[in-house]
Chain A
């Protein structure tokens, strides 16, 4: 089993070398793609308290964030957003882990974890600000204990590790959780973060969503071994979990959080999932990806899976489905309204918050630009026109 020191159970190394990204080895799964709840000697314990009501709630969360994602993609297609990075297919990985966290844990994520942000209680309009271009970030990180999305691949893993050093200094039992993708595991920052986390044994969880694609590059280009196996080289225990199984993801995340809270240091989780959509709305995956592959993964769709589980348990009533659909529609409507009514920033806002103390260079540039704008009757209009020329 995979909760031992190395996270590698049994004599699996030769097999993993032959099939580095295959299914099966060490993959923690609690619900099969057809919705059957299978028992697991170790991980059942970690979701023993999940009630039927909570299962329905996980189903609702996943459905709502898929709806948010679809709505945001539509907003981009309609010209309301500059860009959008869809999370389609990764709902279980995000909701299963996001719902395992405590309020006082702190998340450092990439740009695709909008489902995690939803779990943290983000205002939906805030998710869109940066993609609409009205602000350089969406929210105040301290209001939901989640940093705003990191675009530099892997850089946030160091921030989480440093934050965890702070938690350790403070003697607190909260945890820093960092999300990143399979591509990021090749970045120096991610490797350095694991060196520091292991060295100082700080409470950080490395949550790697292996969605199999870093834009056009398949995961086999990043690694010749399973990503979870990399952690052993740093002395970090790891788990390889079915990322489309919300219950298994929740169990794995709880194992990692529990270890961190008890002073057991970092854990690396590889959530094996699939990016069913493009990298961003600017991407065209048909140029590099086999349509059959997408079909295979569509059969393992994370929402279909929890729906099938609910159906087997007799919980997937029409009433529930209608209720969830209504909630998703309402959330999407609210987000769309928030997007299209977002106030435009003022021209001189570009100078704000570069420094927190006065700065003679910038103050002078701002003053000169304000004087320039003042030579127009309608400064904002004049500049927009100039920018368009």
Chain B
């Protein structure tokens, strides 16, 4: 076990992938000499050379589009999109090319591309630096979408994403980059827990609380605070957003009868809606209350002095838990 930050854990995972597979190449803006704006790729160009860790011109569509060409040639590109809000110029290449080429070539061409995206808010940034665009990609067939919530997962899942023959969007919770945790470096891409599985983090009996990425820590803090009031919350880290491991969530909700899901992304058409609908379909007769969503608002990401109003925090999550439990809450007495 080694203590590592998130950023260092991803770096170690990238390093291991570069060592294990000569076809792995890293591409992105400022990832070489600088080591990335978050230093996630620190030192990798120095050790693996400019042909394997490539500083690219500033063109996101080209970063992803040339990765497609490299994948055609048998490479396994790992591209960095510098910030969540910068991914949109690459949208066509991701949605029409990366996601669909395996289908469009009847399986002849594989697209083992990993797209790393620092995402989410909470770091006081100006606009376009704090977005949560995951639902655009979970809605796109052909892609896998994963997030990580601990340095161990960051280390293991990045290697699993790179080893995966399907394209993977790997969302990194940027406000947790400097959080530390234990990492067992033997848990590489062969780890028995696949990147597609959800993980039950705390056992509970009253409410199932589903979170992912940066809000997993907030959810755990909420569960701990609720325990002080005698409420038992089962926290599930979704980990994979496409596909969602419903078996794990279904098993939990069948026991607790209540579901709260939280994310930073806007509510409408978001992952919370998808999980709530699917769980309602599969667990209707086990549910004691309607599923509750605690999410960002349907607004452009706000200026930083107000971002904490937009981001679900511990208290808003607990308010949602109270709604699921039918306890007094901020919406008590409100119809519909």
Q: A: which residues have CB within 8 A of B? A: 106, 108, 135-137, 140-142, 147-148, 152, 155, 157-170, 176, 188-189, 192-193, 195-196, 199, 352-357, 359-362
Contacts and interface: CB of A to CB of B under 8 A. Distances in A.
B143 to A, nearest CB: 9
A136 B61 contact: no
A206 B312 CA distance: 49
Contacts of A136: 103-106
A104 B284 CA distance: 58
Interface in B205-253: 242-247
A142 to B, nearest CB: 6
Most buried by B among A141, A160, A166: A166
A361 B51 CA distance: 37
8 contacts: A140-B105, A158-B61, A167-B73, A169-B75, A192-B59, A195-B62, A352-B107, A356-B165
A170 B97 CA distance: 24
Shortest 6 CB-CB contacts between residues of A and residues of B? A162-B69, A158-B65, A166-B73, A162-B66, A192-B62, A163-B69
B108 A141 contact: yes
A357 B166 contact: yes
A193 B63 CA distance: 10
B92 to A, nearest CB: 6
Contacts of B165: 356-357
Most buried by A among B70, B109, B244: B70
A137 B106 contact: yes
A170 B108 CA distance: 21
B102 A158 contact: no
A221 B64 CA distance: 29
Given A137-B106, A196-B59, A361-B244, A161 B196 contact: no
A142 B97 CA distance: 17
Nearest to B110: A356
B68 interface: yes
Contacts of B105: 136-137, 140-141, 148, 353
Contacts of A199: 56-57
A159 B68 contact: yes
B125 interface: no
A361 B242 contact: yes
A162 B104 contact: no
B302 interface: no
A158 B62 contact: yes
Contacts of B3: none
Nearest to B60: A192
B268 interface: no
A378 B64 CA distance: 44
Nearest to B51: A169
Contact of B73 (A135, A157, A170, A356): A170
Given A166-B74, A169-B25, A359-B243, A158 B104 contact: no
B141 A155 contact: no
Contacts of A192: 57, 59, 61-62, 65
B191 interface: no
B72 interface: yes
A161 B106 contact: no
A162 B141 CA distance: 23
Most buried by B among A135, A168, A361: A361
B97 to A, nearest CB: 6
Interface string B46-63: 000001001011010110
Given A158-B62, A196-B59, 12 more contacts: A136-B105, A140-B105, A158-B64, A158-B93, A162-B66, A165-B70, A166-B75, A167-B73, A176-B69, A188-B59, A195-B62, A360-B247
Most buried by A among B65, B69, B104, B109: B69
A192 B65 CA distance: 9
A360 B238 CA distance: 14
B142 interface: yes
Nearest to B245: A360
A165 B93 contact: no
Given A166-B73, A192-B62, A359-B243, A137 B104 contact: yes
Contacts of A137: 104-106, 108
Nearest to A168: B51
Contacts of B141: 354, 362
Contacts of A168: 51
Nearest to B58: A195
A149 B69 CA distance: 14
A165 B69 contact: yes
B150 to A, nearest CB: 23
A257 B233 CA distance: 65
A355 B166 contact: yes
Most buried by A among B73, B142, B247: B73
A361 B59 CA distance: 33
B245 A141 contact: no
A354 B102 CA distance: 6
Contacts of A188: 59, 61, 89
A147 B97 CA distance: 12
Given A137-B105, A355-B102, A155 B65 contact: yes
B62 A155 contact: no
A353 B108 CA distance: 9
Contacts of A195: 57, 59, 62
B106 A354 contact: no
B9 interface: no
A166 B52 CA distance: 10
Contacts of A147: 72, 109
Contacts of B65: 155, 157-159, 161-162, 189, 192-193
Contacts of B142: 354-355
Given A165-B70, A354-B102, A355-B166, A193 B62 contact: yes
